Structure 1
Amino acid sequence: MMHVSCMWSVSFLLSLSVGWTKAQQTNYTRPVFHCGGDLVSDSGFVGSEGFPSFYKPNSKCTWRITVPEGNVVTLSFRIFDLEADSQCRYDYLDVYNGHSNLVQKLGRFCGTFRPGALISTTNTMMLEMSSDGETQGRGFVAYFNGAKPYVDDQQFCGGKITKAHGEIKTPNWPEKKYPPGTSCSWLITVEPHMVIQVKFDKFSLEADTYCRFDYVAFFNGGERDDSRLIGKFCGDQVPQPIVTTGNVMLVQFVSDLSVTSDGFLARYTSIPHGSYVPPEPAVERVPPKPKPASTAPPPAPTTKFVPTVRPKPMKPTRGRGQGATGQDRRVPVTRPNGKRPVPQNPLCAKACKRGGSVKTSFCASEFVLSGTVTSLAPGPRGTLQVGVSIIKTYKAGRLTITQVGETMSVRLVSQCKKCPLFRRGVNYIIMGQVNDEGRGTLEPGAFTPPYKAPHDRLLSNISKQSC
């Protein structure tokens, strides 16, 4: 958290800026931030009520930003300090792509890690900040301005697209690197009853563990708030194909003012809803035994498949800073005729044995990551809900990854409560599948060995090989 004197210095600098609106009134020494308001200006600052003092408990503030027609709103956070929570349940800031909470939500943020730049697709944006009755921080300050989409030799970066297929690419592609300080936002809409599939031809953005500096993010779009983040990508590993759940998709590309790279070229197309078939899992073939002396035909080769599972999502734990009660309310198991109990979950009836090698499991899985198990909670029908703080992602595909504070995390669902066996606080390599809603799923034979630092090089090398 930033030192108080430093914050006062920052706030003094903010007072020198122009574009203050009805939501901020100056006293000739520093700006005074109020709870919400209409900010109609080419540019300006928006901040939590009373900043740099602690924001008020049990409050809800709404700011509506409007820049001149023909521009989009870019929002860059300078200071951010809200109560941290793994799911941002207590104090949080929501940012919307317009003047309503029924449009695309660009993100929910909390903690002390500054969010990356955000861009609207029109000349409006809305911020809503909510706080509960305990544990306040100093709040936030962000700079907004109206910007023209990047234009260079007929290359238009961002805009509204209604064609059934097309391409999206970074500015200057492929002649040279994308420029620093660029913001692009595409809103793609195809015919109803269709979904959008995106495949990358080339991909190279500045690498960062949390994709804080240069990144491209994909959201499910729509008139209502169904715009949950599909994925956020950076680095030089080509993302897996991306598929929306509806006929609208929001794509945002941001580069900061430092390192740049070659950029990306992606092609999108519209396909009928439900027609997307994930890549077939890798097949490991066992060679047949040596041919016997007899003339009998040799035995056919056997095939081992790594099946996919698509369970339901995990619910947040109850209580501030605490997990669920942990009480295991099992349904009594009957013993017909004195025999062995009838299994409650057919998947758990299998022997808890890991299947496949590192390479075959990597290829057969839709996501591969290393991370620390932070929470374990029983789910419906004998499932287990697993919270994981990510150490590194090697393969993400359509997996929904959440950024809270300085960490990236995922919530997974294991089909069997005790297989694979997880322990809270232990690091694991985790490979699994992703369901249609972007949630990670694990079956009893999922590849989940303990993770140690030397494994990073092995997994990185495998990620660069073709399956």
Structure 2
Amino acid sequence: MRGAGAWAPLCLLLVAAAQHSRPQLSERPVFTCGGILTGESGFIGSEGFPGVYPPNSKCTWKITVPEGKVVVLNFRFIDLESDNLCRYDFVDVYNGHANGQRIGRFCGTFRPGALVSSGNKMMVQMISDANTAGNGFMAMFSAAEPNERGDQYCGGLLERPSGSFKTPNWPDRDYPAGVTCVWHIVAPKNQLIEVTFEKFDVERDNYCRYDYVAVFNGGEINDAERIGKYCGDSPPAPIVSERNELLIQFLSDLSLTADGFIGHYKFRPKKLPTTTALPVTTTFLATTSLKPTVALCQQKCRRSGTLESNYCSSNFVLAGTVITTIPRGGSLHATVSIINIYKEGNLAIQQAGKNMSAKVIVVCKQCPLLRRGLNYIIMGQVGEDGRGKIMPNSFIMMFKTKNQKLLDALKNKQC
């Protein structure tokens, strides 16, 4: 990306930016750390672009277009430190100027499609850590009429009790390349959101790396809150939110496209026990229904069997590094950066460049104990949401290079 070949298009971008922003002053614009931008269109870029961006910086650009219009942001170039979770250097894009919904987070060299705000304000923020690796980014913003969004853009805030969402051009033709859509569904506080896909056809890939639909609990694109990531031509199973907010993101890259999808959502009350008994009895039944899980987590933490004896009974087998751990209730939600995968099953795997990761839930957070930064061999089952499910008797052990030969042999085993 940073070789000689990359500079030719870069130069063309800079000339275009210069002609657009201040042709009478210089041949190329000077990009500073953040700023306030108003008007029908303009350019923003990382500090010092196209030079390497500085370390330990936080730059914020606030964009305002004329009242009654929406902001459309197109990245012309992006080259930030690459990480599959965008933890180190990244660009965040938000609706509005303060406390707005995050539309997306981007890093590496992947150029997203057009990003569209729901109103006339948008905020862009770039953060870098102590180590920088890249030439930053440059993007153009422009104003558009909200009713122009139909064919080219998509997404928005959905607050009615039921409704639909679909890819641009549906059902007449394939969705376009280079599109990013985010639907933010908000229900009343005491309700949940159920989503079903009627038709679904998104470019197929084993790891959904190119075009995909991702669904998140809450109002932000937050990897820890991701319910699932989907592609191919099989509609995902119905999805129910954990809370009263859900975010649906659709992204297409700059190559192959497909028919797209149409999905429907509806609000529904939080599940009540299916009993007509008095409230006292209801409470008792709800409490006793939790006992098996409590009892499960009170057992001694002891794995049973060996690598060989657990291989066939496990839905997935991988070696990986635990990179995030989030306690949630009595369980632990972890993200594992994959060193090697020996049995994939229906585990949902995320890929960014050469980095692959997967989500696992340790049902009893202390058993087995997963520590961040350590390498493990993990075997387990997979839930309907594509996340690995680790029970107290699941086979987990520290991963050492001496295990590699045995695991490679097991990979070829016929179960």
TM-score (norm: length of structure 2): 0.69
**Paired position in structure 1 for 2:9:** 10
Matches within 5 A, 1:332-351: 346-349=298-301
Q: Is the 8 A contact 2:380 2:389 kept in 1?
A: no
Distance 1:377 1:10, change over 3 A: closer
Partner of 1:122: 119
- Tell me, what secondary structure is at the counterpart of 2:149? coil
CA distance in 1 between partners of 2:7 and 2:233 (Å): 40
The one-letter amino acid of 1:348's match is K
2:138 is matched with which residue?
Answer: 141
Other-structure match for 1:373: 320
2:122, 2:224 → 1: CA distance? 15
Unaligned runs of 5+ in 2: 275-290, 398-405
C-alpha deviation, 1:193, in angstroms: 1.4
Contact 1:103 1:225 in 2 (8 A): no
- Residue of structure 2 equivalent to 1:288: none
Query: Shift of the alpha carbon at 1:406?
Result: 4.8
Question: In the alignment, is residue 64 of structure 1 matched against residue 52 of structure 2?
Answer: no
Choose which of 259, 267, 270 in structure 1 pairs with 2:267: 270
Separation (CA, whole Å) in 1 of partners of 2:53 and 2:360: 34
How many residue pairs end up in the alignment?
378
SS in 2 for 1:32: coil
Q: Check conservation: 2:18, 2:28, Cα contact below 8 A.
A: no
Counterpart Cα distance in 1 of 2:120 and 2:37 = 12
Q: In 2, distance between residues paired with 1:309 and 1:70?
A: 52
| Offset, 1:131 | 2.6
Partner residue, 2:279:
none
- Between 423-432 and 156-165, the greater mean CA deviation after superposition: 423-432
Deviation at 1:49, TM superposition (A): 0.3
Give the CA RMSD over aligned residues. 5.0
CA distance in 1, matches of 2:109, 2:377: 23
C-alpha separation between the residues in 2 aligned to 1:264 and 1:236?
9
Aligned CA distance change for structure 1 residues 236 and 428 (closer, same or farther; 3 Å): farther
- The letter for the 1-side match of 2:149 is P
Residue 203 (1) aligns with residue 155 (2): no
Distance 1:379 1:223 in 2: 17
Name the amino acid aligned to 2:51. Answer: S
- Equivalent position amino acid for 1:47 in 2: G
Q: Which moved more, 1:230-239 or 1:216-225?
A: 216-225
Which stretches in structure 1 are left out of the alignment for 5+ residues? 278-306, 311-343, 363-368, 460-467
How far 1:103 sits from its partner (Å)?
Answer: 2.0
Mark the CA change 1:271 to 1:144 in structure 2 (over 3 Å): closer, same or farther: same
Rounded Cα–Cα distance in structure 2 between residues aligned with 1:194 and 1:383: 23
Residue 337 of structure 2, aligned match among 382, 389, 397: 389
Return closer, same or farther for 1:142/1:348 CA change in 2, 3 Å cut-off: farther
Letter of the aligned partner of 1:116 in structure 2?
P
1:350-369 Cα shifts (integer Å, max 9, x gaps): 66259x9999975xxxxxx6
TM-score (norm 1): 0.62
Describe the shift of the 1:405–1:233 C-alpha distance in structure 2 as closer, same or farther (beyond 3 A): same
Report how far residue 125 of structure 1 moved: 2.3
More helix by share: 2
- Could you say what secondary structure the match of 1:76 adopts? strand
**Greater Rg over alpha carbons, structure:** 1
Shift of 1:62: 0.3
- Structure 2 residue corresponding to 1:431, chosen from 351, 363, 381: 381
Q: Is the 8 A contact 2:39 2:64 kept in 1?
A: yes
Separation in 1 of the partners of 2:251 and 2:198? Answer: 19
Q: CA deviation at 1:129?
A: 1.6
